[in-house]
Amino acid sequence: MALLEARGIAKRFGGIAALGDVSLTIGDGEIYGLIGPNGAGKTTFFNCLTGLYRHDAGSFHLAGTLLDTASPDRVVKRGIARTFQNIRLFAGLSVLENVMVGRHARSQAGALGAVLRTRAFQAEEAAVRNRALELLGYVGLAARRDEPARSLSYGDQRRLEIARALATDPRLLALDEPAAGMNATETQVLRQLLERIRADGVTLLLIEHDVKLVMGLCDRLAVLDFGQLVVEGTPDIVRRDPAVIAAYLGAGTEEAA
């Protein structure tokens, strides 16, 4: 069953077509990879999906319903969360507070309740804290909950950003280069975490330049080049496609992948 359908997505910046008529379908429960060379339009696609950019043409449908991408908060409320290529944590806040910020996207008490410290607000804040603690345990960071986010290693900051995204209860988690800058050990820990997240019912969409990771992790892949969809299919199909080899993998790389 399709969870996300992108239909004819197009985006221009002046005279440059960053995306041109991109259509793809992501099944419920899939790990789906979006790959391609730098400047192919991958992050632009993410930004259109999550409300940071307004696409010029096309539409997104989530579980068969038109997705309102007018603003990022509307997208989050519909069940799509994301991380960024450049980590965007609140460096001065604690590890726990960073995840609580994400959980507040599902809060109901409102600003007045926060000011008046109503019983409803206090109960909800306790629930937010407890859920944040659960998620820190889930990603292996519970022991560092009181430390400032800036004190974490690069790999741990990536996992913290994922925990914050998971705090919004997403149906689809979009990850922009989650393995960028990681060493082999950190990448393996990340892979295990992503597999666990999928097993727990969250569909994953990821941009990634680590060819070995995406070929071993993803159920299906889409390859973009110059804003166009080159091919979509299983890793075996993608790694052997001549257009993909020419545009992205490089001659002879299909054997190594």
pLDDT digit string (tens) for 140-171? 999 999 999 999 999 999 999 999 999 999 99
Question: Domain containing 122: what range?
Answer: 92-165
Would strands 57-62 and 65-66 be described as parallel, antiparallel, or unpaired? antiparallel
Query: 3-class DSSP state for residue 42?
Result: helix
4-20 pLDDT, tens digit per residue, is 999 999 999 998 999 99
The answer as to whether 49 is a domain residue is yes
Are 206 and 216 in contact, with CB atoms under 8 Å apart?
no
Residue 32 has pLDDT above 90, yes or no: yes
The answer as to whether 86 is a domain residue is no
Do 161 and 202 lie in one domain? The reply is no
The pTM (predicted TM-score) of the whole model is: 0.88
Do 96 and 135 lie in one domain? The reply is yes
Residue at a domain's end among 136, 165, 194? 165
Are 22 and 10 in contact, with CB atoms under 8 Å apart?
yes
The answer as to whether 87 is a domain residue is no
Residue at a domain's end among 109, 133, 165? 165
Residue at a domain's end among 139, 165, 191? 165
Residue entry with tokens 């001659």: 251
Do 178 and 151 lie in one domain? The reply is no
Please report the pLDDT score of residue 244 as a whole number. 81
The answer as to whether 85 is a domain residue is no
What is the number of domains present in the chain? 2
